[in-house]
Amino acid sequence: MNSVIKIILLSVLVFILSIPLSMKPTAGESDHTPIRIHLSWEGDPRTELTVMWETAGMTDSIVEYGSDLRYGSSEKNVSSKPDWANGYIHQVKLGGLKAGREYHYRCGSPGYWSGDFTFRTAPEIPEDFSFLVIGDSRNPGNNNDDLNGWEMVVQSMKDDIRENQDKYDFIHFLGDNIYNPNQQLVWEKWFDILSIVSRETVFMESIGNHEYDYSSSEVVPNYFGQFAFPGNELWYSYNYSNAHIISLDTDGDFSPESPQYHWLVNDLERVSKDEENKWIIVMFHRPPFTSGGKGDQDVKEYLCPLFDQYGVDLVLAGHMHIYERFYPLDQTGEVMDRNESDYDDPPVPVYIVDGCAGAPQYSSYPKDWTAYMEKEFGYSRISVSLDGTLHFEHLQVRGGQRKVVDEFEILKRDAIYVIEEEADDPESRTNMMWIVIFIVVFVIIICIVLLMVKGSGKDRDNYEERGGNGSALVSINPLPDESATSEDEKK
C-alpha cells in the first residue's frame, strides 16, 4: 500500500512540475516575442544602425549583434507604451560599428529572441551600390483597410532582394503609408507586411500628407513613435558611398523664410563643395510636375530653382498614384533634353513620380514632357556605379509577377571614381605584415639550406682532389717503419 501511495504522490509531483514547462509560450505565441522589426539610420550609415520592433507585453529591449552567430556585443534600451499604441515599442541604437561589414543580430529579451538576421553597414571607401524606391501604399479609406496592393509589391521586392543576393543596400519610401494615420491597427497591418524586408534591409522615408492629422495639421505621434530617422525626422540627409541623399517634408513649411528652406540651402552648399559625394538625389512627397493633375506650385517655385543651382541629379516624389518619368526639365518645366533613355551630363535633374506601391491607382495621360508613364503597381531600382553612371529601372508588379517596363541611365563624368590606394584598414595591414614576415623567414631558411649544401659539396671536391675515397676529410701520413730504422742503426 505504501509503495502505491508513493507512486501516486510521485506522479502528482511530476505532473505539477511539468505544468510550467508545458504552458510556457512558444515562439510566435508569446506576448514578449518581437514582431514588426525594421531597421533605419539615425546617424552615420557607416557606423550606426537603429533596430525597432514591437511586443504585446512589457519586456526588455536588447539587441545582440556581431560578425557571426556568437554575436559578442549587445545594446539595451527601455521599452515604452504610448497612449496610441496597442503594444510596447522598442528602439535600440547600435553604435561603433565598422564600415562595410556584415553583422548578425537578434532582438528581444532572454527566452524571447527573434530569429537571426543580418545587416550591412555603408562602405568607408566609395563602391557600387543599389537601393529601392517606393511610394504611396495607403489603403483606400477609413472603412477599408485593404493593403493587398502593398502586400503584393513588398513580396515582389522580397523576391527581388533574394534573387539578387541581397544587393540592395536600403529602401526609401516616398510617403503616404496608410489612409488615416490615427488608425494604429492599420499601421500594425502595414508593418506586418513591411517587416519581411525591413528586418534585414534599412528602411527610410520622406513624410507624406497622410502622415499628418487633418484636424490639427500636425504629424501624428504614431509616425514619430514607430520610425527613427535623423534630426527632426521631417527633413534630413544621409550619405551612402559617393551619393548624398536628401529627404524633405513638402507638407510642412519650406518657404524661403522657413527653417527647412535654410537647412536645405546649407546642406546643398556643403555637399556641393564635398568632393566625396558625387551624386545628389532628392526625395519628397508632393511632385512639382505631373501629368495626372496640377503639380505643387510651391515646390516648383521655391525648391526647383535650388535643384538647378546646386546640380541635383535626380528628384523623386510620390503623391500621384502612377509612375511617370519626365525628360530632363528646368525649374520652369521646359524640356532640356529629349533623349529617351541615356543622358550625358544633363544640366538639370531628371524628375520621377513613383506613387504606385499599393494605393488606389489614378487615371492619367502622358503629356509632351513625359518620357514614360505606367499606371500599374510597382517600385523602382537605382544602381550607382563608380564608372560615373546611375542606372534607373521601374518594375511593374502585376499578379505577383514583376518586369522592367522603363529604364534610363545618367552619365556624370565628374562622378567617375578612380581608386588611388587601398583603404587604410589596420586589420588588413596587420595581416599583410605577418605575410611579409613569413616570406622573409622562409627565404632565409632556404638560403641557409642552400649554403650548407653548397659548402659540403666543396669540401667533398677538395678531398677527392687529394686522393681520398670520400670517407674522411683529412689525409693521415703513415708512421715510419721501425724495423728499417733498426737495420740502419746496426750498419
pLDDT digits (tens, 9 = 90+) for 344-383: 999 999 999 999 999 999 988 999 999 999 999 999 999 9
pLDDT per position as a tens digit, 86-140: 999 999 999 999 999 999 999 999 999 999 999 999 999 999 999 999 999 999 9
In this predicted structure, which of 227-236, 350-359, 452-461 has the lowest mean pLDDT?
452-461
d(CA 371, CA 327): 5
Mean pLDDT calculated for residue range 416-439: 64
d(CA 121, CA 100): 5
d(CA 326, CA 369): 6
Q: Label residue 217 left, alpha or beta by phi (over 0 means left) and psi (-120 to 50 means alpha).
A: left
Q: At the topology level of CATH, where does 29-124 sit?
A: Immunoglobulin-like (2.60.40)
d(CA 260, CA 309): 17
SS3 387: strand
Domain boundaries along the sequence of the chain: 29-124, 125-416
Best CA proximity match to 80, nearest among 111, 54, 106: 54
Neighbours of 378 (CB within 10 A): 25
Tell me the sheet residues that pair with 244: 239, 280
Under the banding of pLDDT at 50, 70 and 90, the label for residue 443 is confident
Under the banding of pLDDT at 50, 70 and 90, the label for residue 236 is very high
- Return the ∠ at Cα 60 (arms to 58 and 64), rounded to 5°: 145
> Among the CATH numbers 3.10.310.30, 3.40.50.10680, 3.60.21.10, 3.30.1280.10, which is that of 125-416?
3.60.21.10
pLDDT of residue 198 exceeding 70, the answer is: yes
Instruction: Give yes or no for a contact between 94 and 65, defined as CB atoms under 8 angstroms apart.
Output: yes
pLDDT of residue 457 exceeding 80, the answer is: no
Round the average pLDDT of the chain to a whole number and report it: 87
